[in-house]
Amino acid sequence: MSAQHVDGRRLRYQHRRPELLDAVVNYVLAHGLANLAMRPLAEAVGVSHGALLHHFGTKEALLIEVTDVLRQRLADAAGLADSSGSLADLGSWWRRSMTADRLPVYRLLFEVYAQATREPERYERFLQQAMHDALGLVQRLVLAEGCPGEQAPMVASMIVAQARGLQLDLLATNDRERVDHAFSVFIGLIDRLRQSWTGEQPPTQPR
């Protein structure tokens, strides 16, 4: 990268922080967290180390902003920006979310998740979003389907944990057929649970 090109990007980033954040997101997605350091990152995106610190402060604060962007991208792609969903949408959510081009995003989020369990005080905002916000969203869905209030936290925890466990399974094994089938079976179990809340009779199976 030439000095002239770097200087040009520095000039743009002085007034275009969102563009800098996008460049940072793309770099972190490509390289992961294992050897992430601020100086090489600054060089890669064409700003000084001081400029990167000016915009983001610490490495932890930068990662929180990166994960905010990635979580919003996933939510938009999966249709979660609209709060009118239902449990019946779980299957389509899985299919939209777990496409091959989105797996690197989940891989990075799990990396941050692991780091956050080691340093929860530094990643408090991430943990709040990753756990409490997700549980709150699913809890609202199950309550809207008739789940008794005292059961809603447990059911929401079960759904979130099952989805994340299968996401991690897919990342580790790349066995899409098995993992997709497992999620489909899980959806069936959730639907039977939903029927128990409403008194709805399950469809009769052909003999």
- 67-101 pLDDT, tens digit per residue, is 888 888 877 766 655 556 788 889 998 998 899 98
Assess contact for 146 and 198: CB atoms under 8 A.
yes
Mean per-residue pLDDT, 102-128: 89
Q: 85 and 50, same structural domain? A: no
**161 lies in which domain range?**
59-198
Q: 123 and 72, same structural domain? A: yes
Q: 150 and 83, same structural domain? A: yes
Q: 185 and 89, same structural domain? A: yes
Secondary structure class of 82 (helix, strand, coil) = coil
Q: What is the percent of the chain where pLDDT is above 70?
A: 86
Domain contains 205 = no
Q: What is the DSSP letter of 37?
A: -
The domain tally of the chain equals 2
Assess contact for 53 and 9: CB atoms under 8 A.
no
**pLDDT tens for residues 160-199?**
999 999 999 999 999 999 999 999 999 999 999 999 998 8
Q: 68 and 15, same structural domain? A: no
CA Rg value for the chain: 21
Q: 131 and 87, same structural domain? A: yes
pLDDT at 177 (0 to 100): 97
Q: 46 and 67, same structural domain? A: no
Question: Tokens for 194?
Answer: 């939903």
* C-alpha separations of 189 from 47, 87, 120, 151, 152 in Å: 51, 12, 33, 16, 16
**pLDDT tens for residues 6-37?**
445 545 555 678 889 999 999 999 998 888 89
Long-range contacts from 2-8, C-beta under 8 angstroms, 24+ separation: 5/46, 6/46
Tell me: pLDDT of 2 over 50: no
Q: 103 and 12, same structural domain? A: no
Sign of CA dihedral 96, 175, 134, 108: negative
Q: What is the percent of the chain where pLDDT is above 90?
A: 45
Q: 109 and 47, same structural domain? A: no
